Chain A
Amino acid sequence: MSGFVAGKATASEPLRRFFQVARGAGLRVSAAEGIDAARAVDLVGFEDRVLLKDTLALIMAKTPDEKALYDEAFELYFKRDAFSGRGEGDEQDDGGHGEGRAPNQGPQAGGDGMGGSGGQSLGQLLESDDRAALATEMEKAAREAGLENIRFFTQKNLYARRILDRMGLRALEREMEAMRQTGEPEHLKRARTLEAKVDQLRDAVRDFVERNLILFAKGETEKFREELLKSARLSNLERRDMDRMRILVRQMAKKLAARYAKTRRRRLRGQLDTRRTLRRNMGWGGIPFITVWKQKRIEKPRVMVLCDVSGSVAAMSGFLLMFLYALNEALSDIRSFAFAGSLVEVSDILEKEPVEQAIGTIMQTIGYGSSNYGNSFADFEDGWMQFVNNKTTVIILGDGRGNRTDPRTDVIGRLSQRSKRIIWLNPEYKSAWGTGDSDMYRYAPFCNLVTVCNTLRHLERVITDILEDAA
């Protein structure tokens, strides 16, 4: 075994299904890792479960989060094995020897071991109360029904029905019907006991399908929901999704923070840094053996965020504040302001208090009123315009609806001259801009970018862009 060379192993049946389970649980198991896992299992074998768990953990789970997911999936999957007892053990042997082609051979063999129940009908199995054989039959039927493809809880009944069919329930039902027809007390009694047993079997199968649903579909359903949430309008979110959303926001922000936390240098190709090249090559008389190229330093951006927290955009701004809160690590120089009728700085609140509380505090102090953009921008000019310089990116989040007050575009004009750029994120669809009291098109000429932003995905894209070319 130890002299084993690459590429020979193919994943045995149970192992392949475990990959599927693991993928369902949200682990990313690539094909290459699958091969590695198969090789490793060839080396250590299936017998020692602890060892098997450690081994596969090394290959399949590569972050602390994944390790946790993996542990869960492993327990769930291999506990299932223990439930069905010998049948599964036989099957593993088959897989290991490459005979897994005939999937019903293993369980059948297991059934034989239980006292020759190989060719028994469902009725006989039920009557003899041979649980182990029943379990193996169920496993077998499940495999034939393709249970590992189950994805949604709505499919539960469908698969349960299919499994029962394959186990021969229809024939049994016909048999039972025939017994009842005869009307003999002995047969009637038999039919009744069978009925009770069939009910038990139904429950068992439903249970089994449910376990498989958790096993195979949990990760994917989660992923599906997350995708849905990411592209759902933030103002339409339901209360029950909020917690999940918070987690998502935090994840996204963390990802961005990890990527942009460092000052980065980008090498400019083809531009020789003459001074540093000469210095570097002094050792050998100035002959340029080593060339030094000019570098472009990419610094962390300075960002000022003005966030409308008036009633109309409150849901959206809550998320933006949350995002900013999480981004604080990445952006060293970030100042946040909230405005409705007037404007206040909220950087301190965001920095010192835990996020939910901070957002609550902000909303209480200033939020929910009707907005007055002109007034708020004037406040900004009075208090903070002096801190804006040519490295500052100003992000304004709002619908630009000032309730027919003076929009004070002159302030935004001056701001755009002082700052590096202004980005305006508007949660309204473009068709609504400029209608009613919206001053969006009056502000737009002074902004470098005006864009619709009403989903988490939009938000992520915009923030990435800002971080990306913050030169």
Chain B
Amino acid sequence: MNDAVPAQVGNTQAPLESIDAVDLGLESAGYIASRQISTAIYLAHHLQKPILVEGPAGVGKTELAKSVATWMKLPLIRMQCYEGLDEAKALYEWKYGKQLLYTQILKDKINSVIGESDNLAQSLDKLHSFGDVFFSHQFLEPRPLLRALEEPGGAVLLIDEIDKSDQEFEAFLLEILSDYQVTIPELGTIGAKVPPIVLLTSNATRDLGDALKRRCLHLHIGFPDEKLEARIISSRVPGIDGRLLKQLVSFVQQLRAMDLKKVPSVSEAIDWARVLVLLHTSVLEVDLVRDTLNVLLKFEADIEAANKQIAGLTHKARQDAGV
């Protein structure tokens, strides 16, 4: 571990030397980060700690990991969590088929290997001298976690929706999160060549354990304010007209203030912006908004509730944008 640290710092020093650099870097990858986000990435690198990202769906938690990978030119290794996810799918698996083949070959060759030893002890001795190939690296099928550790130049490891996995799995993650190493009983402990940048995301469907939280930096991404959201949308939907953007952002922000089952998130705002650009809109009209509202809101009850106030919301949005 220790000699890996300076090497890594040397490798990636330039892009991560300051928080502003992180800001710019993420922007170059198309991700407009708030100050907190950049600070988190910066600290994650320098303290070598994983980041636990929480926040409502669609605010760009997963996107953050992708952007970090693109910007740093590191491979992104993604592990989607679900109920019942276990070691065999997350860490490693033995290549059973290959092992089976190996035993059969061994069966055929056993005579020539052991040769003309005449007693059991001697042949066992000979067998031992070959070493334990059966459980060795060649028969190991690395799964995301192990792959992330073995990546020679470092990697971005995204452990998506950790709250969906079982508690046991969470406990299993602790070793890799705190020491960047895993223990395989047959092989011993495997440490990371270059510690990967680890991001965990959670939608808070259940409370995560304290042990896990203690090992991570905790980043909460909420909905962005108007200015940031406008920047995000304009970076994702490049052709958008400035005045439309203002109206759109104001409208979405107003919707968020309403009491809805699921308020529109950034990803939905981006989708809506794309729709509006496709329809060559420059000014929000009540009818148009009504027709496209299903892009923003995903529940019938929400659409109904918003429909009642649509005229007011649209008017306010236009006022805000000075149209």
> Do A and B belong to a common assembly?
yes
Contact with B along A63-91 (1 / 0, CB 8 A): 11001000000000000000000000000
Interchain CB contact (< 8 A) of B43 among A40, A64, A287: A40
A4 to B217, CA, bound (A): 18
Q: Give the segment of A28-36, A316-324, A351-359, A369-377 that binds chain B.
A: A28-36
Interchain CB contact (< 8 A) of A62 among B35, B36, B218: B218
Interchain CB contact (< 8 A) of B36 among A3, A5, A57, A290: A57
A5 to B16, CA, bound (A): 16
A134 to B165, CA, bound (A): 57
Q: Give the segment of A48-56, A192-200, A335-343 that binds chain B.
A: A48-56
A6 to B220, CA, bound (A): 25
Nearest B residue to A1 via CB reads B46
A50 to B84, CA, bound (A): 41
Cβ A43 vs Cβ B100 within 8 A = no
A74 shortest CB reach to chain B, Å: 14
Q: Does B238 contact A (CB under 8 A)?
A: no
List B contacts of A6 (CB < 8 A). 48
A35 shortest CB reach to chain B, Å: 10
Cβ B96 vs Cβ A51 within 8 A = no
B123 shortest CB reach to chain A, Å: 24
Q: Does A258 contact B (CB under 8 A)?
A: yes
A289 to B207, CA, bound (A): 35
Which parts of A130-160 form the interface with B (CB within 8 Å)? none
Cβ A54 vs Cβ B5 within 8 A = no
List B contacts of A43 (CB < 8 A). 43, 46-47
Q: Does A2 contact B (CB under 8 A)?
A: yes
A32 to B215, CA, bound (A): 8
Whether A2 contacts B219 in the complex (CB less than 8 A), given A43-B43, A43-B47, comes out as: no
Nearest B residue to A43 via CB reads B46
Q: Which residue of A50, A54, A64, A289 has the most chain B CB atoms within 10 A of its CB atom? A: A54
Whether A59 contacts B100 in the complex (CB less than 8 A), given A4-B46, A54-B35, comes out as: no
Contact with B along A150-176 (1 / 0, CB 8 A): 000000000000000000000000000
A57 to B213, CA, bound (A): 13
Nearest B residue to A4 via CB reads B46
Which parts of B1-55 form the interface with A (CB within 8 Å)? 2, 5-6, 9, 13, 16-17, 19, 35-36, 39-40, 43, 46-49, 51-52, 54
Q: Does B185 contact A (CB under 8 A)?
A: no
Q: Does B94 contact A (CB under 8 A)?
A: yes
Q: Does B206 contact A (CB under 8 A)?
A: yes
Cβ B96 vs Cβ A54 within 8 A = no
A58 to B43, CA, bound (A): 9
Cβ A67 vs Cβ B46 within 8 A = no
Q: Does B97 contact A (CB under 8 A)?
A: yes
Cβ B96 vs Cβ A283 within 8 A = yes
Cβ A2 vs Cβ B9 within 8 A = yes
Interchain CB contact (< 8 A) of A51 among B2, B19, B97: B19
Cβ A50 vs Cβ B35 within 8 A = yes
Cβ A289 vs Cβ B43 within 8 A = no
List A contacts of B206 (CB < 8 A). 258, 261-262
Nearest B residue to A37 via CB reads B47
Cβ B6 vs Cβ A51 within 8 A = no
Cβ B40 vs Cβ A58 within 8 A = yes
List B contacts of A258 (CB < 8 A). 206-207
Cβ B6 vs Cβ A59 within 8 A = no
A283 to B39, CA, bound (A): 49
Q: Does B214 contact A (CB under 8 A)?
A: yes
Q: Does A61 contact B (CB under 8 A)?
A: yes
Interchain CB contact (< 8 A) of A30 among B6, B54, B83, B214: B214
Cβ A61 vs Cβ B47 within 8 A = no
List B contacts of A33 (CB < 8 A). 214
Nearest B residue to A2 via CB reads B46
Q: Does A401 contact B (CB under 8 A)?
A: no
Cβ B36 vs Cβ A2 within 8 A = no
Cβ A283 vs Cβ B218 within 8 A = no
Which parts of B115-134 form the interface with A (CB within 8 Å)? none
Nearest A residue to B217 via CB reads A58
List A contacts of B13 (CB < 8 A). 2
List A contacts of B49 (CB < 8 A). 36
Nearest A residue to B215 via CB reads A32
Nearest B residue to A263 via CB reads B83
Cβ A58 vs Cβ B214 within 8 A = no
A64 to B213, CA, bound (A): 13
B17 shortest CB reach to chain A, Å: 7
Q: Does A387 contact B (CB under 8 A)?
A: no
Nearest B residue to A31 via CB reads B214
Cβ B43 vs Cβ A283 within 8 A = no
Cβ B17 vs Cβ A39 within 8 A = no
Give me 19 other A-B pairs in contact (C-beta within 8 A), A43-B43, A58-B217, A284-B96 excluded: A2-B13, A2-B46, A3-B9, A6-B48, A32-B214, A33-B214, A40-B47, A54-B36, A55-B39, A58-B43, A58-B51, A59-B217, A59-B218, A63-B207, A255-B207, A261-B206, A262-B206, A283-B97, A289-B94
A-B contacts, 21 of them at CB < 8 A, read A2-B9, A2-B16, A30-B214, A33-B214, A36-B49, A43-B47, A51-B19, A51-B35, A51-B39, A55-B43, A58-B36, A58-B40, A58-B51, A58-B218, A63-B207, A255-B207, A261-B206, A262-B206, A284-B96, A284-B97, A289-B99
**B contact set with A: CB distance below 8 Å:** 2, 5-6, 9, 13, 16-17, 19, 35-36, 39-40, 43, 46-49, 51-52, 54, 83, 88, 94, 96-97, 99-100, 206-207, 210, 213-214, 216-220
